[in-house]
Structure 1
Amino acid sequence: MNKRTRNKWLIGLGFVGLTIFATQAWADGAGSSGMPGSADDPVVTKSYVDQQIQQIAGGGNRLVVEELRAGQTLYGYEGTEFIVRTGKVVAVAGMNGDGLTDITSGADLRGGATVQSNHLLLIARSDSRGLRLAPGNNGVAYVMIRGNYEIK
């Protein structure tokens, strides 16, 4: 092999090697869109993931049956649904005096209105609307709940 042919081979192999190296370096950079912990690749803690899972599990499509006793008030958040199964219960109005939507009868239940059993109620806003036992009722009421709520 003469000197000229050998130089062409060396230049060609060098070019091929450089191309392979550059392609590999580009692929490594394109595969990871950012450094770990950056906005492109955030690092999250276990407590954050647990909190997000708990929020998802807290509401949703499942129905929960709660026992409402004298002195307790059941507050629902926006979109929460109630169905009173047993007991005498009255509506608790929101901060502006707005009531609960009785979907079954198509009526608006103002604060203090008696809630009929087995009627589907909807909380339209998160403004302290809810249910409590009727005055003079020292028993218990069972309420089915779908959505976010709290009992105070």
Structure 2
Amino acid sequence: MRKKWPVLAVLLVCGMLALGGYAHLAGAAGGEPGSETDPLVSKSFVEEYVARYVSEALGEGRGSGDFQWRVASVPAGQEFTGGAGMEFILRTGRAVAVDPTGSGIPDVTAGTNLSAGREVAPNHLYIIPRSDGRGLRAQTDVIVMYRGATGK
């Protein structure tokens, strides 16, 4: 009988420790549903989270509309300059490049650089890299499609 008590006491202590540990783990893993300690998230939360960050990344959250295509009519003799990142396409008329920096205007369609005074090709996509006065000077009345901020 004497040998059974120490063994029984050890088993009882081990059992109590096991139950206490299990209760602790069960409480920590569960958390209150919807709280910060809840390990699971709902489908609606994930969809809302993803939609919000995708719309911000695409620029829909800004509301400025700077990246929608717009149309501008430029009379002969006038200049049309762009802000940093502006894209433009000459749709009708004749125009020459304006480039006070001498760096040129990238012609994405042809894969070339358009120098100042050279004729702007119709239906080619051009990108203004910086807000430094680059753009076009209309030789005849022209129509330009553009997106982004204009310089003037």
1:79 and 2:85 aligned? yes
Structure whose CA Rg is larger? 2
2:80–2:135 Cα contact (<8 Å) kept? yes
Structure 1 runs (4+) deviating above 4 angstroms are: none
Q: 2:136 aligns with which of 131, 134, 150?
A: 131
* 1:3-152 correspondence to structure 2 within 5 Å: 56-57=63-64, 59=66, 61-94=67-100, 96-134=101-139, 139-151=140-152
**Per-residue deviation, 1:117:** 0.5
- Please give the alpha-carbon distance, in whole angstroms, between the structure 2 residues aligned to 1:100 and 1:141: 18
Percent identity at matched positions? 43
SS at match of 2:97: strand
Q: Distance in 2 between matches of 1:63 and 1:79?
A: 13
- Rounded Cα–Cα distance in structure 1 between residues aligned with 2:151 and 2:128: 13
Conservation of the 8 A alpha-carbon contact between 1:68 and 1:133:
yes
Amino acid in the other structure paired with 2:117:
G
For structure 1, the residue ranges without an aligned partner over 5 or more in a row are: 1-54
| Structure 2 partner of 1:9 | none
Cα RMSD of the aligned pairs, angstroms, is 1.6
TM-score of the pair, normalised by structure 1: 0.56
Structure 1 residue 71, shift from structure 2 partner: 2.6
Query: Residue 90 of structure 1: SS of its match in structure 2?
Result: strand
Number of corresponding residues: 91
Normalising by structure 2, report the TM-score.
0.56
More strand by share: 1
